[in-house]
Amino acid sequence: EDCDIEQIDPKRTDPEYFVYECLNVEEVEKLLNESVEKLSTQLQITPSLAKVLLHETRWNTAEVIERYRNNASNLLVSARIKAAAPSAPTPPPPTQTPVPSTSAGVTACCYRTQLCPVCVTVQSTDKFHSLSCQHSFCRDCWAMHFEIQIGQGISTQIECMEQRCDVRVPEDLVLTLLNRPMLRDKYQQFTFADYVKSHPELRFCPGPNCQTIIRSQDISPKKAVCRMCKTAFCFRCGTDYHAPTDCQIIRKWLTKCADDSETANYISAHTKDCPKCHICIEKNGGCNHMQCFNCKHDFCWMCLGDWKAHGSEYYECSRYKENPNIAHESVHAQAREALKKYLHYYERWENHSKSLQLEQQTLDRMKARINEKVMKGLGTWIDWQHLFDAATLLAKCRYTLQYTYPYAYYMDSRKELFEYQQAQLEAEIENLSWKVERAETTDRGELENQMDIAEKRRTTLLKDFFPTEA
């Protein structure tokens, strides 16, 4: 029919397309409890046991059911619910202690007692509790053990007090013996956090003091944005979003940057000399297209090359030129070459990070000027909306560009294609940055055309190199 329109799959057109939902604590508790009740019903086990088994298998209901029906005993041992074998001597038998008669001719009945191996006191057997391992301790010692463990942030991993016994203490026993309400609440908060962290589809928002939990069935390194605090992060690893670099590589890069920070301190300076008149220049904007205030010479902040010829030389500016003879050099020469390579990429990584901060300042100044224009009746906020869209896109593109440098540092194959696309993206970002910093005097059509070009370059690079597989 005429109304039939071909549906475009956003997964194919947008490399950052990601379906997720933001949930609160109550919604997640309901979600987890539904899984517990379902498993409890299917296997005819207690909810407490079902919860431990799900937690142990990362909430894989099908795996729990299969393993339980194949060999329930092995599953319980691997989940540390049941002891693998008798790991302790038989507890000392209860003793009978006579109770003195209260009156002549009346025989007192006997009561059973037991020695607690922790506090070494003899108490009535009804004050003792034991786990499946049969290790028995008095109520007060268990309560003290729980309090110490919770104080250390341990909840689902609380174990038996017997040495070399790793049987877990069930949640219902902990809650039964904890008398202080604040301690019970803390324990339940810790267990809830453990359950969320073990669930592959759930992530805590890393925003400060945010209780939102993100849920997605797509376990890939895509960007999730919390609807409450607006924090953006990688759903797979929970750190700052880092496309096109994958989670393992960005961890290696950040570790290396932390280890080599002292070596790279020299690049923290914000000034360079003009390559023509040699006057000292401070970078006060995000754009790498610099113009000397003294001699008006246009040059690139990164390589100090002439900007007029730079449009055709971005590939040379952003790529690192390997020494083809380095394998035959001395160990010291190879070490210097390795440091030189690292600093090449680190300098560009750090430069774009600082450019993002400077461009935020540019945006703030732009807002103030536009607000002043609106107050004077020179248009409305809607008339100037395209400037904010341009600044937002610029930040988005530069953020992606920043994370291309760790990717390039570690990559081996397809490097020439990647560096070509990286250089093309960088060139369009600098063109956009130049126009955004002069947005009020730039033709709107020209600005929007540059926005379109920059975004297409960014999307093309992500489609070709972003590792989105789960």
Q: What is the rounded distance in angstroms from the CA atom of residue 263 to the CA atom of residue 395?
A: 28
- Report the run of H or E that residue 465 belongs to, with start and end: helix 444-465
CA atoms of 41 and 389, how far apart (whole Å): 53
Q: Is the peptide bond before 89 cis (omega within 30 degrees of 0)?
A: no
For residue 244, say if its preceding peptide bond is cis, omega within 30 degrees of 0.
yes
Q: What is the CA radius of gyration of the chain?
A: 32
DSSP code per residue over 116-168: -TTT--EEEGGGEEE-TT--EEEHHHHHHHHHHHHHTT-STT-B-SSTT--PB
Considering only CA atoms, which of 58, 17, 9, 61 is closest in space to residue 39? 61
Residue 228: Cβ within 10 Å count? 12
Q: How far is residue 15's CA from residue 13's CA, in Å, rounded to a whole number?
A: 6
Q: What phi, psi does 96 have (nearest 5°)?
A: -105, 125
DSSP codes, 168-192: BPPHHHHHHH---HHHHHHHHHHHH
Task: Say whether 85 sits in a helix, a strand or coil.
Answer: coil
Q: Given the residues 138, 141, 160, 287, select the one marked as catalytic.
A: 287
277 catalytically annotated: no
Run of H or E residues at 35: helix 25-43
Report the C-alpha gap between 47 and 40 in whole angstroms: 5
**Would you say 180 and 159 are in contact if contact means Cβ atoms under 8 Å apart?**
no
Alpha helices in 289-414 (DSSP H): 314-318, 331-375, 385-402, 404-410
The first and second tokens of residue 364, run together, are 């703030």
Q: E strand or H helix at 54, and its extent? A: helix 47-56
d(CA 395, CA 232): 14
Say which residue the tokens 């729990």 belong to.
Answer: 64
CA-nearest of 300, 304, 295 to 275 is 304
Residues annotated as catalytic (active site), given as ranges: 287
